[in-house]
Amino acid sequence: MAASDTGRAQQQIDEIEALSSIYGEDWCVVDEDEKIYCIKISDCLDQPKWTLCLQVILPPGYPTEEPPIYQLNAPWLRGQDYTELANSLEEIYLQNLGESILYLWVEKIREVLIEKAQSSEPEPDIKKTSEEVDEDDEDFLLDYEPIQEDPIKMLNYMASESQEDEELPPIHHGNPITDRRSTFQAHLAPVVTTRQVKRVLEKLYENKKIASATHNIYAYRIYCEDKQTFLQDCEDDGETAAGGRLLHLMQILNVHNVLVVVSRWYGGILLGPDRFKHINNCARNVLVE
């Protein structure tokens, strides 16, 4: 490894350690080998109104020769809001060429969120999600069958009522991963319409074990040939920012016309950031298969 490469690698290590120290639980390692990280940013610590997830990949040439590759994930972030924020981040990069800039990016995003919170803009109408919660009942899988309607309802405005004519795609189930009594399993189906996404989700929820999962996180990407754009969306199902991370993984792997669902059965022991690693590994394995 050349001296300059060694220097860049050390700069990246130093920056990652600093950010992990500064942001604590809001900093997440998505994939250490691929240098993929995620930072949850809010307008305030107590009862935040506006939240955004910044996902970054650090290429070998960062920070001296290449900018980070980034993705901004928030259900409310669309159109002009996205463009303005992206322009701000690129401007910061150009003003600080060759320097570590992730901290500057995070604080710029926080500044924008604080401005939104202080302005007269209405709060985003987003289903509240929660981090892991302790469960005393270790046998929750036996009798517990919650009604899992929300993820389906989210697609109702996109899917036609007459989905009976839409063919149900084949569903593939990946190998489960178990850690400290929590189990993760990915399910995959090829899809080309949102109606197919809805049908696959409904079919999965007919399975009592899947319906009883603590979280059913999903993401899909559909390539629209006529518009040459991607139709994509994701759902956390109570596991904050997990859907965005899953979608980001699919973008990195450049997969399309596919729906990935990761079921997680919580076993009573908190896994912390490891749960995101297992979600992504499950998804990556089923995509490779």
Residue 275 has pLDDT above 80, yes or no: yes
Range of the domain at 67: 1-118
DSSP 218-246: EEEEEEETTTTEEEEEEE-TTBTTHHHHH
Same domain, 180 and 105: no
User: What percentage of the chain has pLDDT greater than the value 90?
Assistant: 22
Q: How many domains does the chain have?
A: 2
d(CA 64, CA 51): 30
Question: Token pair for residue 170?
Answer: 């084949």
pLDDT of residue 121: 67
Residue 211 has pLDDT above 80, yes or no: yes
Q: Answer whether residue 26 is part of any domain.
A: yes
Provide the CATH number for the domain around residue 36: 3.10.110.10
pLDDT of residue 165: 54
pLDDT of residue 120: 63
Buried b / exposed e across 53-72, counting CB within 10 Å, b at 16+? Answer: bbbbbbeeebbeeebbebbb
Same domain, 68 and 177: no
**Least confident interval from 43-47, 51-55, 71-75, 237-241:** 43-47
pLDDT of residue 162: 41
pLDDT of residue 74: 83
Same domain, 188 and 263: yes
Nearest to 197 by CA among 176, 218, 214: 218
First to last CA, the chain: 33
Q: Predicted confidence band at 154 (pLDDT cuts at 50, 70, 90)?
A: very low
pLDDT of residue 3: 53
Question: pLDDT tens across 96-150, in order?
Answer: 888 899 999 999 999 999 988 888 666 665 443 334 443 332 332 222 222 233 4
d(CA 202, CA 207): 9
Nearest to 105 by CA among 41, 22, 36: 41
pLDDT of residue 140: 28
Contacting residues for 49 by C-beta, under 8 A, at least 6 apart: 43, 116, 117, 123, 124
Question: pLDDT tens across 51-68, in order?
Answer: 888 988 888 888 888 888
Q: Answer whether residue 157 is part of any domain.
A: no
Residue 166 has pLDDT above 80, yes or no: no
Provide the CATH number for the domain around residue 229: 3.30.230.30
Same domain, 106 and 1: yes
Whether 234 contacts 244, CB under 8 Å: yes
pLDDT of residue 218: 94
**Least confident interval from 76-90, 152-166, 221-235:** 152-166
The residue length of the chain stands at 289
Mean pLDDT, rounded, of the chain: 79
More confident residue, 173 or 157: 173
Q: Tell whether pTM > 0.85.
A: no
Whether 42 contacts 113, CB under 8 Å: yes
User: What percentage of the chain has pLDDT greater than the value 70?
Assistant: 82
Same domain, 6 and 113: yes
